Structure formats: structure tokens, C-alpha cells
Amino acid sequence: MGVATFAVRDAFLTERARAEERLQTRARAMAVLVDREIGRVEALLRTAARSEFLRSGDVRSFLTEAEAVAAELGGAWVGVTERDGTRLLNTFWPDGAPPPGSRGSETASLALAAGRTAVSNLVQDTRGGERTPVIVVAAPVARSGPGGGGAYAVTAAVRVDTLGVVLGELELTQGWVGVVLDGVGTIVARTVRPGDTVGLRARPSVLEALASGHPTGIVHGVRTLEDTLSVVAYARIPRTGYVTLVAVPDEVFAAPLRAALIRTVSIGAVLALAGLLLALATARQLARALGRLVNGPSGTGLSGVREIDAVARRLAATDAERDRAERELRAARDEAVEILESIGDGFYALDADRSVAYVNGRALETFGKPREDLLGRRFDEVFPGAAGSPVTPILHEVASRAEPREFEVDAPLQGRWTAFSAYPRRGGGVSVYFRDVSARRAAEAALRESEEQFRATFEQAAVGIAHVGLDGCWLRVNQRLCEITGYPTDELLRLGFQDITHPDDLDTDLDQVRALVAGELESYRMEKRYLRPDGTPIWVLLTVSLLRPSAADARPYFVSVVEDISELKRAEAARRESERRYRFLAENNPQIVWTARPDGLLDYFNQRWTEVTGLPVEAGTGEGWAAAIYPDDLPRMNAAWAKSLATGEPYAVEHRVRTRDGAWRWFRTQAAALQAADGDIQMWVGTAADIHDEREALEQVRRLNAELEHRVAERTAQLADANAELESFAYSVAHDLRAPLRGMQGFSRALLEDYADALDETGRDYAGRIARGAERLDDLINDLLAYSRLSREEIRPEPVALEGLLADVLRHMDPQIETARTILQLERPLPKVIGQRAVLTQVLMNLLGNAIKFIPPGAEPRVRVWAEHRGGNVRVWVEDNGIGIRPEHCDKIFRVFERLHGQKAYPGTGIGLAIVKKGIERLGGAVGVESELGCGSRFWFELPKEKPDHGHA
């Protein structure tokens, strides 16, 4: 009878614990679903908050995006609120324009103050003319540009019936009620009578139960809105402060427990009571019969006998009934024992004095002792070591406090890690279930080790690795992914992959994600671009798979592997660009371009091959090109080609090709080997140029050269005679002109020196004019002679050091420079040029003289001289701060006798710049000027630079 009693009690406690666990699991699942839905809203708002319109302050242009978010949220109202609470935009009003002075919710202010997403308690929205229960979610907008910060918040008023739809996914058991409470205890969603209850405050008993913070999350005896005592399981949602409840009426909760235990309890109780009552009734009847038989009057004896006989028969029936009851009781006891003997856990029961009341077979196997050595004996007598076991004080605590305990210890008796479930028994005893969990703990240790290895692999991987939620938010990222994307870990975890994906790649990525979630793909792999915080795109190779955990309450997530392929992309782009340019050059080249493999077989011709030969490109590859070669030239070409293939030396040969019209034309074919870093030949690249006209022209040139040499010799002799006559004439003219000039100069000077007093002012002026005119005429004759010599004399170009030459010129012009108080800036070094020293001396003296002479009145001349390299030439500049030249006169001033100013203002012959131009042109160079009137001038001349002399070995 005792065995049946504690078996029933232990079965009841076990069944109740399981029922509570099922209830708690539903509450947690409800919390996960609500948290996921609110997280979805937050993700949409975070994405909207990164709109470029909002970041730039263009709120009105954000309306289209806001309407799209509202549609995604099932008709929610989406708006923008300023920091001071003023509504700037809301999709509820036409064109998104709120009424003047409209104020936003406190949630927007909280989001702006905290700098993160905020969720409100339940509020009643009256904008539609009716009271609509909603929750408000707000995300701050990060402003771009100076100041940054959160100037606006994007808000969404989400109808709470969307949460009711989410709760419907749980399909709670009949009689169970699911409830969502906000942070102040207001009902946000309910699976039963939502229309009547949403917006009401939960009963005080419910709020008191939540405030108690029961560690198991289970509270008994709570009165719900239906005024029903219920068992309540609850779970909290940290993100919002909301709480999810699952309430089950006591009757509904207790029904399966009663059904599980009613058979054993009813049989024992009913039979015991029936037997007791029957025994009492029979004893009283028998006593009356015996009294009548002994003490009654005559005639009553027979009656007493018959009554005794009836009692006897009734006692016989009672014995049969008792036997039947005992059999049923034994059956019930045997059934209880059978249950305890069949379970996988070890079980023993101790009385208040710690003597063993019962022990099952699994416990006997563990203890290694027969049952008779244990029953009725104190546990610590059988097992002396039990007194020091960590199990013993816990069992004492269970018995003394009458509270069940579950714990795991490394138990000495079991010799391994063991899980215990201890329940108090009536009278101070205790019932103990235990099972071996060493394998599980070993598996957990192995799992921890595996997790550590995974964590190390995850964090130290050479590629980016991430776990991503179904909503696109990063759940876990490693350091390498942060390095690739340029975001710190905490900032990346606040974003979704959509936020940093290049807009051109996002649709393709999302299509793959949808196919993966739908089970159409096991995984996918794609190349895409992420955007770093500064907007720089970075190419990655993304591999994604979907992990679906086996646990019922675990949410699926994506595992993403991200490899930085930016360098590879740049290399590919460079290769494609190089190939594109090569193809462009090859196809647009007027020559035939071809390539060959390392073994010498041709594998490419450009289109020019077909244009010349009339043969298709394919016909020329391999060895087909030989069909278009003049037969007598082919052996020579093959021999040269074989030598180049053997040695790697460049290939060059001239030969004839049959053109599409059947004519034979001369071509020059050349090729060079493209080699790898190790010297191996990768390919040959060659060209075939049409030199037919060139060969004919060369032949004609050879013929003409012979004729030309003869003619040149004749003309040279004639020119020498003419030059001699011209030189003689020039000097004769100069001599004949200078004789009277010398007389004019002498007599005018005598008049001014000897007879100045005899002459009046006019006479002295006339005499001075005669002297100056004669002097100018003499200068003119000298310049004409110099100009004439430049045209006639032989020019032999040679290297000339400009620095040394300029130094000599400056020494010669030193009086003129000093007189004019010239500021001269010479920028060294000045290179060597190919020219003639005498000619360059005239050029520099004329350019420097003009720079000093042609300045505004009262100004000090500033002259700068420098040189610069231009390809194979040197350009020498002479810059002044003079009066300048009109652009239309810049060419005119290099002509003979061309003057832009009167003789009185700027005296001169008008031949100096003509000498400069003639001299430079005779040296094979060029001359020019850059100037504007009143802004000075920059004269330049350009000559070939001296070529470096590499000497001889």
C-alpha cells in the first residue's frame, strides 16, 4: 500500500512538471514571434532612416519611400518627426503634409535622445476618426554633412492586429489563452476576445505575478479577465519591455493530470473504504443475532439461528468481495511497481529516518547490492560513504522544506556525473530519481570544445564569416568581415546586409535569398559589391547557405562567407582593358597582325589578312598561311622561322604575297616572342607590312639620287660663284656707302665741336641730326651685312654650352646692362644645344638688347632667362617686363625693317629680330613670341638638344 502511495505522488509531480514546461515553451515561442515582428518593423525603419533624402534634409522627397514602407507594414502610417516633436511628413495625410503645428509621439523624442530605435507602449490613434490601437516604432535619421546627429526620426504607427495574426501562428491548445502586455501592463494582443480586451489593463493578480519574478516563469492561482483561476507562464522581450503570457484555467491544466492518476488512486481508496464499511456492518448484525439467540424469549431462537445463518452467508460474500478487492489492490500495486521497474531512471524512496522503503531494479544495478540488503535499513548504514556525499545535504533540504529539487553532481555512489530529481514524501521522507548524465556531460564538454574551435575558426578565418537573420540583419560577424566592409563590429551589427549592398547588386542578391528560403536552392554563390562607410565600393565573392536548427524554438539563419576579390577584379578589369586595346589596335592596324603558339603554329589573324589575300581568317591559321606566299620565298621564310623558334630571337623576312586580285606584292613580316618571367615563350606576336610601294620608291630614289647628285654638283658650283659675286657686291656697296658716311660723320662732328658757338640753336640741331643719321645708317649697313652673311655663310652645327655662351654675351653687354640698371634673373642649369656659337651670340644679343630697350619710361628692366626640355629639343626663353606687343603683330616683327614704334621713342634698324629668325632657322630651329600689350613679352627659340655620347667599349 505504501509503494502505491508514493508511486502515485511521484507520477503526479513528474506529469505536472512536464505540463508546466510545455506551457513555458509556448510563452517563450510567443515572445520570439512578437520580437521577430517588431524587429522586422525596426529593420524597415532603419533602412528608411538611411534615405539620402532624409540625410540631406529633403524631407518632402522622402514621401514615396515612406509610402512603400507603409505598404510593406500592412497599411501602417509612416512619418517624419523633427527633434522638437513637430511632424514634418506623414503618409496618413494627403500628399504627406501634416496640419500646421501637428505634434509627433514621445517615441520619436526617445529615439532621438537615445540615438537608437525606440518602441512605444500601446496608444490609441484617432487620426482616422476612430480609436485605433497601435504601437509606435521610431528610428533616428543620421544627418550627413556638418553637425550630423539625429535631427529627424522616422516613425511607424503599426496596428496591433498584426501582432494578433502573429500569435495565430502558434495554434494554442483549446482553452489556452495567449496575451501580449506592454511595459505598463496594457493588453496589446490577445488570442481570445481581442476586440473586447485589447487596450485594457491586465488584472492586478497578473501584474503581481509578473512583479514577483518567479524564477521558473510559472505562477499558479492567477485570476484572469474571465475571472478564472489559471496557471500562467510568461516570458519577457528585452527589446521592448513587453511580456508574453500563456494562461490555462486550473481545470484545463489539471484535467490530463487527473486522467493519468485517477485509475490508481480510485482503486486503492474505494476498495479500502468499502472493505471497512462492510466489516463494521457485518459485526453489528452478528452481535444482534447472538443476543437474541442467547437471551431472547422462546420462539426467538430459531429466528436468531436464521439471522446467524444470514450473517454467515453475508460474511462469506464479504470475504469474496474482500478477496476481489485485495486482488485489485495487489494489481494496482503491481502496476505501480511495474512502472517503477520499467523506467530508465534509478529510483529509491527513503522514510523519515532515512531507511530504504523501496528501490527499483535500475538503482540496484547502480548500487551493486541485492534488494534485501537495502529494504528497511538506513541508507547511510548500507553506504557509509553517503554521509560525505554532496547528495545527502540536498536530500535533507528537500525533506525539511518539502520542496522538490533537481540537481546534477559527480556522485560517489554512482561513480559518475548523475542527475537527481528529489521529491518530498509525506511524513518527512523523500523519493529520489536519478540517471547517468556522464555521456551527456561529456558530449556537452565536447560541444564546448567544438564551439571553442568554431569560435577560433570563425574569428581567425582569412575570409569574412557572418550569421545573418532572415530579415537581413547581421547576427554575428568576424573581424575579417569588419575589415573588408570597413565597419566596426558594433556598427555592423546594427545594420542589415541590404544597408551596405550596392544598389545595382541588391535585387539579384534578394532573389537568391528568396529562392534559398523557399527551398529552391541549397546554397548560392555570387559576386557583389559592398559599400564602405565612405561610399567606396568593394568587390566580394559571397557564398550563402541557410541553416535550419532542429530545435523547435530556434530560428533559421544564413551562414555567409565573404571573400575580398577587389584585387582580382582590378586585375581582371586591367586584363580585359588590355585585351580590348590589343584587339582594337590589331583590328584597326593597317598591317596584317598575327599571333602564333610557342610551337610556331599560327592561331590568329586580324581582318586585314582577308582584305589583302581574299582568304578567310580561318584559312590562314595553322600552316594555311603558306598558300598565299610566293613559292620561291617560302623556303627562306621557313628557315628563318625555324631559327627563331629554336633560339627565341626576333623574326624578320621580306617576301611576296598573292593579293586578292592575283597580283604579287612585297611584304615585310616581323615577329617577337612574348616571354614569361622564367623565360618560357608564351606566344609570338607578329605583323606583315606592305612594302611593295616602298621598294619601288626606293628603286626610283636610287635612280633619282644618281641624277640629283650630278645636278647638285652643277648647282653647287653655280651657287658658289653667285655667292662669291654677291659677297663681293655687298662689301663693295658697303665700302662705297661708308666713304661718304664717314665724311658726313666727320664734318658734322667738326661743326659741333669747332663751330658750335658760331651756330645758332637750329644750326646745332641740324648738325646733330646729320651725325645721328649717319650713325644709324652705319648701324643699318652693319645689320644688313650680318643678315646677308647669315643667308650665305656655311652653317656647321655643333654642341654649344648655353651657360658659357650666355656668360660671354653678358660680359660684352655689361655697359648697356649697367646703364639701364637692368635686373637680370638667370635660371640654371642651361643645357647644351646643337647650333653655331657665332649665330647664337647674335641671337642672344639681339633678344637681350630688345628686352632692355623696349620698356616703359621710368621703369627698370627686368629680364629672366631660362630653358626647358621639349622632347628632343631645348626651348630657351627670354622674358621681359617691357611694353609688350599686340597679338596680331607677333609674326610681323620678325620681318626686315618692320618697326612698331617711332625712331625717336625706341631707336633701332628694324633688322634685329629678322636676324634672330634667320639665324635660328639656319640652325634648324624655330622662334616665336608670347606677348600682350602692356604686359611684357616672352621670346623663345628652340633647337635640338645635345645627344648623350655613350662612347665606345
pLDDT at 335 over 80: no
- What confidence category does residue 584 fall into, taking pLDDT thresholds of 50, 70 and 90? confident
**Which of 478-482, 870-874, 889-893 has the weakest average pLDDT?**
889-893
Distance of alpha carbon 879 from alpha carbon 867, whole angstroms: 11
- Partnered with residue 466 across adjacent β-strands are 477, 560
What tens digit of pLDDT does each residue of 730-762 get?
A: 555 555 555 676 667 677 777 777 777 777 888
Contact by Cβ (8 Å): 144, 218: no
The pLDDT, as a whole number, for residue 550 is 62
Q: Burial code of 542-570, b = ≥16 C-beta within 10 A, e = fewer?
A: bebebeeeeeeeeeebbebbbbbbeeebe
pLDDT at 540 over 90: yes
Q: DSSP assignment of 391-414, as one string? A: HHHHHHHHHHHT--EEEEEEETTT
Contact by Cβ (8 Å): 927, 894: yes
The pLDDT, as a whole number, for residue 154 is 87
Distance of alpha carbon 934 from alpha carbon 676, whole angstroms: 62
- What confidence category does residue 116 fall into, taking pLDDT thresholds of 50, 70 and 90? confident
The pLDDT, as a whole number, for residue 149 is 47
pLDDT at 725 over 60: no
Average pLDDT over residues 534-544: 93
Better-predicted residue by pLDDT, 588 or 729: 588
pLDDT at 909 over 70: no
The pLDDT, as a whole number, for residue 877 is 93
- What confidence category does residue 512 fall into, taking pLDDT thresholds of 50, 70 and 90? very high
Better-predicted residue by pLDDT, 583 or 619: 619
At 146 the three-state DSSP class reads coil
Give whichever of 273-282, 735-744, 798-807, 902-911 has the largest mean pLDDT: 798-807
Better-predicted residue by pLDDT, 64 or 732: 64
Distance of alpha carbon 829 from alpha carbon 310, whole angstroms: 152
Report how far apart, in Å, the C-alpha atoms of 98 and of each of 40, 94, 330 are: 26, 8, 82
**Which of 32-41, 96-105, 529-538, 919-928 has the weakest average pLDDT?**
96-105
pLDDT at 907 over 50: yes
Average pLDDT, the chain: 79
Average pLDDT over residues 556-561: 91
Q: Measuring CA to CA, which residue among 184, 155, 158 is closest to residue 37?
A: 158
Residue 493 CB burial class (10 angstroms; 0-12, 13-18, ≥19)? middle
pLDDT at 597 over 80: yes
Distance of alpha carbon 904 from alpha carbon 777, whole angstroms: 15
The pLDDT, as a whole number, for residue 439 is 81
The pLDDT, as a whole number, for residue 774 is 62
pLDDT at 784 over 80: no
Better-predicted residue by pLDDT, 257 or 703: 703
pLDDT at 146 over 60: no
pLDDT at 332 over 70: no
pLDDT at 456 over 50: yes
The pLDDT, as a whole number, for residue 142 is 65
- What confidence category does residue 565 fall into, taking pLDDT thresholds of 50, 70 and 90? very high
Better-predicted residue by pLDDT, 813 or 128: 813
How many Cβ atoms from other residues are within 10 Å of residue 658's Cβ?
Answer: 17
pLDDT at 614 over 60: yes
pLDDT at 902 over 80: no
pLDDT at 502 over 80: yes
Amino acid at 578: S
pLDDT at 658 over 60: yes
- What confidence category does residue 561 fall into, taking pLDDT thresholds of 50, 70 and 90? very high
The pLDDT, as a whole number, for residue 374 is 86
Residue 750 CB burial class (10 angstroms; 0-12, 13-18, ≥19)? exposed
Percentage, residues of the chain above pLDDT 90: 17
What tens digit of pLDDT does each residue of 266-307 get?
A: 445 554 555 555 555 555 555 555 555 445 444 444 455 555
Distance of alpha carbon 953 from alpha carbon 947, whole angstroms: 18
Average pLDDT over residues 718-741: 58
The pLDDT, as a whole number, for residue 482 is 94
Give whichever of 448-462, 802-816, 866-880 has the largest mean pLDDT: 866-880
Better-predicted residue by pLDDT, 768 or 869: 869
Better-predicted residue by pLDDT, 213 or 166: 166
The pLDDT, as a whole number, for residue 635 is 93
What tens digit of pLDDT does each residue of 399-418 get?
A: 888 888 888 888 777 678 88
Q: For residue 448, give the C-alpha cell.
A: 564546448
Better-predicted residue by pLDDT, 412 or 916: 916
Contact by Cβ (8 Å): 425, 9: yes
For 170-241, strand residue ranges (E) read 177-181, 187-190, 218-223, 229-237
At 495 the three-state DSSP class reads coil
Report how far apart, in Å, the C-alpha atoms of 13 and of each of 356, 357, 428, 472 are: 21, 19, 17, 44
Average pLDDT over residues 551-567: 81
- Partnered with residue 544 across adjacent β-strands are 524, 560
Say which residue the cell 519611400 belongs to: 65
